[in-house]
Structure 1
């Protein structure tokens, strides 16, 4: 395709047409079939539709795109410049869908399909339960092996091939070498205490050093962000601290003591919602960072890996947190 088509492609991408959720599979399938047959009538017969129905579907698609895709004439139909561009992407979409269907069929035949996924504690506590439930519906015979832990541990295991995917925070550049990262959403760090804690009644960031602090250890993805936040707010060294990102330990210890827990919001989302723990009203926007899917770029996704990615996408769309 020439410069004119390239320009049209950029225009389509810029206007967000490729991501418009009003476009359904029936729109794409009908459009591609009409283009193949060069005739509304023959395309309708191939898809077991009436000619008025397929004509209406085409018009819906053109209205969504805000551009004419085909010119009707007595001899049939012909593609406009915009139609030529859209056909290219429509055909790729249908081909990807066919690959997905073949992947599902393959998983149905092979009960030994396995995927190994690592997740940070914040992801394990918040996103993963819903993703696993969705994945179990998409691939009921696949085996999912899950590991949670700190960023450096999971990334090292991913790099060595012990894990297929990792979901977690974007780490420092030196920790991400040889790893691809696809952002899923963002989250921030919270300062959390038990209900009735003195700081909950009189919150003062400058006084957190008066209590024991559960602090992210070196090598964790959130540690540099927390350090930067404290420096920006003039908070000095915290000598009485326990370094951990363990959700299991933090939940029990914070509930039973006066410790202040510095942790990603996802780890304590349920406890905060239930009122078991409370977050201190500090503006921690400076600690916000991307959470994403990490993989080895040189590897090709298996069908079961593709379905796991789809499960993540479905959950994020249902929760309305697609970036």
Structure 2
């Protein structure tokens, strides 16, 4: 059985002539509209009927009328022509200054995946204006549902907010508790969570995707009362505060991966394997994306394969 998506004998001219003859109700008018000779249009219709092994038009009257089989084929042919037209328009739009891709970047990906993806997209044939939005998950999901964002890159939202949305899993990672190298706990092996209690904790806010995961780690680790909590979604503030104070920054591993590699920050020796979770693309369900948006999503997919993740 052939695996081709389309019978290679059926050409675009067959579809164009068929649709125009149906629209005009005759070969003569169709040939004029298409700028082709009448014999050429008649030949294309005859070839198409031979390939489909059925009559597409009833020729008994003065005006050509679709047969039942012709009506069935016309529905699919019109949809195919519309899809091709939309594809051409998307490519044309991508070349114009009016095109813009709007994506949301959660803290998990805004310092590595998204910058690399945008740089790659800039070199693609579909390069256009890019708007990158950041902020809490709830804010970003509201913008996605309202059509103000094309898609979001980050951790999988909770199931109760995913109605009407779909998620594409790209990779999984876990949380890291990062501190400056001079922190009293920086060199301690096999830490227990209760040993974090005396120190300021930089935590995601209550409505952040990873906050329930952090709370679960604390409960499972027997954590008691924390003396001082700082809730923030700002990576730049959290990094600056952690570098100047004995604070403990709770964040997805990829956000601080480069800081850990160069020794600017140190990961505490805590078991965070239970925090491992999916990261990917959240988008509206059943929505046809334009060429620039699809190109940006491909750039995100490529970028996720270029960064090492925390070991499980």
Both proteins in one fold, TM over 0.5: yes
* CA deviation map 1:68-121 (0-9, x unaligned): xxxxxxxxxxxxxxxxxxxxxxxxxxxxxx999857842554232111100111
TM-score, normalised by the number of residues in structure 1: 0.65
Q: Distance in 1 between matches of 2:275 and 2:147?
A: 30
Partner secondary structure for residue 143 of structure 2: helix
Question: How many angstroms apart in 1 are the aligned matches of 2:275 and 2:103?
Answer: 25
Larger Rg: 2
Q: How far, CA to CA, are the matches of 1:320 and 1:100 in structure 2?
A: 38
Q: Distance in 1 between matches of 2:148 and 2:249?
A: 31
Match of 1:302 in 2: 290
Task: Tell me how far 1:162 sits from its aligned partner.
Answer: 1.3
* Residues 1:103 and 1:192: Cα distance change in structure 2 (over 3 Å): farther
Match status 1:127 vs 2:107: no
Match in the other structure for 2:99: 113
Distance in 1, Cα, partners of 2:272 & 2:229: 19
Cα drift, residue 134 of structure 1 = 0.9
Could you tell me how far 1:307 is from its partner in structure 2? 0.8
The question of 1:265 aligning with 2:257 is answered: no
Contact 1:245 1:263 in 2 (8 A): no
Aligned residue runs from structure 1 range 135-284, under 5 A: 135-139=121-125, 141-203=127-189, 204=191, 205-284=193-272
Paired residues, number: 234
Pairwise CA distance, 1:314: 2.6
Q: Deviations over 1:31-78 (max 9, x none)?
A: 859x958xxxxxxxxxxxxxxxxxxxxxxxxxxxxxxxxxxxxxxxxx
Length-normalised TM-score, structure 2:
0.68
| CA distance, structure 1, for counterparts of residue 139 and residue 290 of structure 2 | 24
Return the alpha-carbon distance in structure 2 between the equivalents of residues 264 and 188 of structure 1: 6
Q: Give RMSD over aligned pairs.
A: 2.9
Q: How many Å apart are 1:232 and its aligned residue?
A: 1.2
Alpha-carbon offset, residue 273 of structure 1: 1.4
Map residues 8-47 of structure 1 onto 2, 5 A cutoff.
36=8
Offset, 1:240: 1.3
CA distance in 2, matches of 1:264, 1:140: 31
Gapped regions of structure 1 (runs ≥ 5) = 6-27, 38-97
Report how far residue 318 of structure 1 moved.
5.1
| Cα offsets for 1:261-291 (capped at 9, x unmatched) | 1111122122111211111121201011111
Structure 2 unaligned regions, length at least 5:
10-83
| Partner Cα separation in structure 1 for residue 306 and residue 112 of structure 2 | 14
SS at match of 1:123: coil
Runs (4 or more) in structure 1 with deviation over 3 Å come to 98-105, 316-321
Cα distance in 2 between the residues matched to 1:314 and 1:225 = 27
